Structure 1
Amino acid sequence: MHALIVVAHPDQKSLSHSVAAHLAEGVSLAGEGDTFEIADLAAEAFDPRFTAADIALHLRQAPPATDVAAEQARIDRADALVLVYPVYWWSMPGLLKGWIDRVFTNGWAYDEGPDGKSEKKLRHLKVHLIAIGGASLRTYARHGYFGAMKTQIDHGIFDYCGARVVTSELLLGSEGQDVASHLKAALAVGRNLFHASKRTEAADAA
């Protein structure tokens, strides 16, 4: 199986990049021939700006731009999509949100019919979300931030397209002594990324 790990952070030395690398290492350590690709949106200079060309694509008046088509092909090759990102203002960074805005298009991620009903087109895709924040768990709980993030991202984006969010992790205390535990958690997520899917396949084959 193949994982696409998307990381959205401009600093190569950031915890986000370390978490992505440990997650990828976990996939390799699973020892079952699984593969991964890391999409570093900042290093690859992905343009997150939603332009008139993106509107034309949404309206089915134009084909996808080359960069959008390339990202969709990356996801099409993947059995699992993993997003690793820092929490900015209780959500994902603009770079990653723009990637979703432009890539998860009408006609590819979902189909909007003339009657206003939408068909989910990514039911085959498993999604794993790894958000990294500096505030305390008490802060997130007191203000309901994590619940709000799950509503807008897990449900509002991926459920709308039919993709199933398997993992929704919030790694907090990123600037202190919790870094080692976060990297250990990322390694575990990577090692178990395809475990449930393979167990289901084996049961079906039996």
Structure 2
Amino acid sequence: MNVLWILAHPDARSLNGSLHRAGVDALTEAGHHVEVSDLYAMKWNPVVDRQDYDPDHGVEDSACDMAGGERLRVDRASQRALEEGTLSPDILAEQARLDRADLVVVQFPLWWGGVPAILKGWIDRVFVRGYAYGIPDPDRPGRSLRYGAGGLAGKRALAVVTVGAASDGYGPRGIDGSFDEVLFPLLHGTLFYTGMSVLPPVVVYGANHLSDERYRAAAADLRTRLAEAETAQPTYRTQNSGDYDDAMVLRPHVADGGSGLGAHRA
């Protein structure tokens, strides 16, 4: 199995750094090939701008709406650059790593209820239209392949997340919200949207005060989850599973008629 491990933490001496090394070692010992995108070590640029698609500022057609105000239409400009081979070299390098990957591990500390800005910027710049999304559905004219199908279909995705708070606050009635729902924008709205089969995340709670014993348990859990990654059941219902009607709404009998984010779990 080819694995791309995306790490978003600024200090290699951190809990995330230790878990990252334990995970990569476990995969390597099991015979898998691992590539690492350590975003802070790479000094990854998280900001989308015109030079991602037009390094020479020479695009002059309607795809980028350059005339009369220099408006940048990111979706059109990125797809045009993808098709013409003019994407920024750092974006192309990350897409090549994604192309080779069977499993994508996304590791980060939960900051302000979401991913660190550098990871969000990696997604914004790498998941361009025509590559990760915006792929026409040949069986449904006017629709695109998404939510279990699309540009990154055939890959599996596993999030590894450290959280400062204790687990109780992220329970069904916890003040921080159910953790499945906190991660829904990343797991469902990004990774699953682009076609990847999303596995249940590995979550380490109380990360700011983790004892040696709890660290060993967390590292062991991570190694187990990585060993099971090729066979574990994905999390969400696919768009074309028949569970959704033509308006992309769950059919009345699905999930016992329930609503909310949890109803989209398979």
Q: State TM-score, norm by structure 2.
A: 0.67
User: Which of the residues 154, 157, 181 maps onto 2:217?
Assistant: 181
Distance 1:167 1:121 in 2: 21
- What runs of 5+ residues in structure 2 fail to find an aligned partner? 53-71, 234-266
**Would you say how many aligned residue pairs link Structure 1 and Structure 2?**
194
The amino acid that maps onto 2:224 is: A
Letter paired with 1:14: S
Cα distance in 2, alignment partners of residues 53 and 189 from structure 1: 39
Preserved CA contact (<8 Å) 1:8 1:95: yes
Please identify, of 180-189 and 95-104, the stretch whose mean Cα deviation from structure 2 is larger: 180-189
Note the C-alpha offset of 1:23.
0.9
Alignment partners' CA distance in 1, 2:169 and 2:38? 30
Bigger strand fraction: 1
Percent identical: 30
1:124-135 correspondence to structure 2 within 5 Å: 124-135=154-165
TM-score normalised by structure 1 residue count: 0.85
Structure in which a larger fraction of residues adopt helix: 1
Q: Aligned pair 1:118/2:178, yes or no?
A: no
Q: Distance in 1 between matches of 2:22 and 2:74?
A: 36
Please tell me the root mean square deviation across aligned C-alpha atoms, in Å.
Answer: 2.1
What amino acid is the match of 1:117? Answer: R
What is the aligned partner in structure 2 of residue 42 from structure 1?
A: 40
Alignment of 1:54-203 (within 5 A): 54=52, 58-59=75-76, 60-62=79-81, 63-111=86-134, 117-119=143-145, 120-141=150-171, 142-143=174-175, 144-175=177-208, 176-177=210-211, 178-195=214-231
Q: Residue 198 of structure 2 aligns to which amino acid in structure 1?
A: V
CA deviation map 1:127-168 (0-9, x unaligned): 010110110111112131513323211111012111111231
Q: 1:56 to 1:79 in 2, by over 3 A?
A: same
1:52-99 deviation line (CA, Å, top 9, x unaligned): 345666213433211111100001011100011101011111111110
